[in-house]
Chains A and B, each alone.
Chain A
Amino acid sequence: MKLSNSTLLAAVLCCVLCVVLSVTAISLDQYTLSRIDPHNRMALCLDNYYNLAHWAYLLYDLFHLFVIAVFALVLAETTSWEAWMGAAL
């Protein structure tokens, strides 16, 4: 299966988005943990930055799924079954 160039370009853009989302999530997490004790779950739950960090992680996972699938398909063009196994698991 040969992927189109536009799919590859979309995957590259998703990689960039993943990096941006990861940096955002780390920054928001650290900002929250610098103000609130990590064991104080109730205070964390009421913090907007903490919730935004989790939304960033969730969106990261969504884009990461697409990137991994495309990367595995690119590998599967040349290499063997390990790419399918690795991507699936």
Chain B
Amino acid sequence: MIVSTLADMASVSVNTFILTAGLGALALGESPGFAAPNAGYEFIRSTFDFANAAFGIVGTLFLGTAAIKATGMSRVVGWFLLASLPLGFLQLAEVGLLIPWTLIVDTWVTPLAEIALQVLIGTALWATLRHRQEAKHSEPGPGAIRNHPLKSRVPG
């Protein structure tokens, strides 16, 4: 999922730093620096979007499989990841398309699924943190044995 996220970052970066700047200059009547800023960068963005979706599907599958082997909230994250696999295929199908249903997928479905995933991962990590804290407090430290009342009665 790291490669997938890097591809997403590259796609958003091309849009934010290059395509938007070029089209903005064109709209203001200034020189964009190249003849057709839209065509070439749209192709680059589509390539990154395809990489994002393709690596995302495989990464989600592996991470979901690993997470369902765990316990507690991590298992819930795993099931959610596996349940969100169809969304990955939908993202793969809509690469380079700008029609009403792809707009809904891009602006509503994908971000909302990401919010749900972040909430679940955050809860799982928080649960792990709490579990560690409880384990740390419950285990007896070396001082507990040293100061144990029975220790002074041991002969020798």
Contact = CB atoms under 8 A, between A and B. Distances in A.
Contacts of A87: 1-2, 59, 63
Contacts of A9: 129
B70 A78 contact: yes
A88 B60 CA distance: 10
Interface residues of A, number: 52
B62 A61 contact: no
Interface residues of B, number: 55
A42 B63 contact: no
Residue of B13, B28, B74, B98 with most chain A CB atoms under a 10 A cut-off? B74
A60 B5 CA distance: 10
Nearest to B52: A61
Given A51-B16, A58-B12, A89-B59, A12 B122 contact: yes
Top-3 shortest CB links A-B: A86-B63, A15-B122, A86-B62
Interface of B: 1-6, 8-9, 12-13, 15-16, 19-21, 23-24, 26-28, 38, 55, 58-67, 69-70, 74, 77, 98, 103, 107-108, 111-112, 114-115, 118-119, 121-122, 124-126, 128-129, 132-133
18 contacts: A5-B132, A8-B129, A12-B126, A15-B119, A16-B122, A25-B111, A45-B19, A45-B23, A46-B27, A51-B16, A62-B9, A64-B118, A74-B74, A75-B67, A80-B69, A86-B64, A88-B1, A89-B1
